[in-house]
Structure 1
């Protein structure tokens, strides 16, 4: 909906990677002066940076054989999987904020059969576009190590990183307005999880995330929201929107 220069966008597929809503998000961001994202906030901190996300799936094809009679006649996809897991994990660069994590693995059909197929799912988190590009090239360059096996590599970048420069000006506004409203010293944090704010920032739209409810425990049974923080959070959002619409300087 659009009201007085403000577009409200509600989506339902963000946890899946925004496969349907991403084009609309990007379209709106490209024509907007700011994007305010109402993701929840732990401890009231605003999210001034988010890691980018890439997701990959590696299918390994081998050759089945009897595991007891003639295992040498097979091409063991599970052993190839083990080689690839170690190669993939080695792509991580903690100092650069890059994690490369094999998360799901499948192989084999029976205890007496050399596995003819296997699969690895990989979660990648990066702080910069340069690191996202490096990982993409390295993943595409993976090669089989076990004779008779082959790799099929699917996946790519899901979300670009939201780098702190995209949030700096909006965060300064929010911190000042928060102080004026008596909300204390608002903090900005960079987090590993992604949101639709990654898409808006990639379109060159100044973006500030974490303006939603204050709470913690995302995705857990113990997830909670601090009810007493709801009204102050709404006041901060309203003040920020009002100032942006009036075109006031930071």
Structure 2
């Protein structure tokens, strides 16, 4: 491995901590794996920062919470669950090569966590700082949302260590996002002998998909995308059941209300068919106004750094919706989130860790 050193922050040490986290696989909803991952995350935090990282049990797995003491001023927010199933590491092991680190979860978002911890370690005084690393961000943060909101309000400023946007840009705005699921009930019959005796759930689902897709308004940032559909049991049976899953992204509270009302109002086209709709836009939009104050600080500290709004959601959506200043995308520079080519750029690790140090110092001194 090529040696990378800098004053205050050791890239080699960051890479070794990142290896430790990545090689402890942590797929969402796998409670046994997440329990081990939380202990490993806590151990890394304690080894670099001292103190005690407390495990907060939940139905989704343990969240990790570390506090430096003193009046809360800034919350470092991240997650240790990943989208990759157990066994991914065997197929795609942690690798350091050609200036990149690859492996499941390096960009989303274990690299960011490591940079945050090492950036904080460079501070002589860490008072007022908290770290919260949750276990269920990739699956909606249902068990952690209340805790995230509580600590964000207590601290008054939130730095989110999701991976950076393209080119290393910070994420100054995010769309609200959520999902809906339609269950459609018809009536089975023999497709050859008496097709008219049935109520075709697949045809009803087709009508619904067209209605749903028409709800999108890309000109105002609203996308409504049917993503998964199922129907039928045999090729000679009129299908009695069908399901449709839909991904939704919005930029405004008004569009969130319109979309949720539209899904609630969906009605069958075929006589006798029944529709059940579940879901919501669970992550509210993160407006750029929520990040403006902290982004201005980041620009003073690191001239030339850019900001951009993105379509994906994070736990920063929740904190921004509370009116708490929130800056996102402070994590690793790289790409390939949720994909086999996921990577981070080694050369950028020092700069990002140093930005953590300087941002926290500036927030506390404001």
C-alpha distance in structure 2 between counterparts of 1:15 and 1:75, whole Å: 37
- Could you tell me which residue of structure 1 aligns to residue 317 of structure 2? 198
1:77 corresponds to which residue? Answer: 201
Q: 2 CA distance for matches of 1:128 and 1:176?
A: 29
Deviation of 1:178 (Å) = 0.4
- Residue 159 of structure 1 is matched in structure 2 by 283
Cα displacement (A) at 1:151 = 0.4
1:187 to 289, 302, 306: 306
Secondary structure of the residue that 1:139 maps to in structure 2? helix
Give the corresponding residue for 1:172: 296
Could you tell me how far apart the structure 2 residues matched to 1:50 and 1:150 are? 35
Q: Deviations over 1:84-142 (max 9, x none)?
A: 00000000000110000010000000001000000000100011111111100000000
Tell me which of 220, 227, 246 is aligned to 2:346: 227
| SS of match in other structure, 1:8 | strand
Identify the residue that residue 24 of structure 1 maps to in structure 2.
147
Of 15-24 and 88-97, more deviation after overlay is shown by 15-24
1:81–1:119: 8 Å Cα contact kept in structure 2? yes
1:240 aligns with 2:359: yes
Distance 1:199 1:212 in 2: 18
What does residue 182 of structure 1 align with?
none
Cα pair 1:54 1:132 within 8 Å, conserved:
no
CA deviation after TM superposition for structure 1 residue 12, in Å: 2.1
2:137 paired residue number:
14
2:174 matches 1:50? yes
Q: Residues 194-250 of structure 1: CA distance to partner in whole angstroms, max 9, x if unpaired?
A: 001001111111000000111011111111100111111011111010011112xxx
Measured in 2, the distance between the counterparts of 1:43 and 1:218 equals: 14
* DSSP-derived class of the 2:134 partner: coil
Equivalent residues of 1:60, 1:81 under 8 A apart: yes
Deviations 1:140-184 (A, max 9, x none): 0000001110100011121001010100111111011102xxxxx
Aligned residue for 1:57, secondary structure, equals strand
Q: How many residues align?
A: 242
CA–CA distance in 1 between the matches of 2:250 and 2:281? 10
**5+ residue gaps, structure 1:** 180-184
Instruction: Pick the aligned partner of 1:2 from 67, 70, 93.
Output: 67
* TM-score, with structure 2 as normaliser: 0.65
* Runs of 4+ residues over 3 Å off in structure 1: none
Q: What CA distance in whole angstroms lies between the structure 1 residues aligned with 2:130 and 2:322?
A: 16
In the alignment, which residue of structure 2 is the partner of 1:109? 233
Q: How far apart are residue 40 of structure 1 and its match?
A: 0.7
Higher relative contact order (Cα pairs below 8 Å, separated by 6+ residues): 1
- RMSD, aligned α-carbons: 0.8
SS at match of 2:177: strand
Provide the secondary structure at the position in 2 that maps to 1:10.
strand
> 1:32 Cα deviation (Å)?
2.2
For the residue of structure 1 that corresponds to 2:245, the secondary structure is: strand
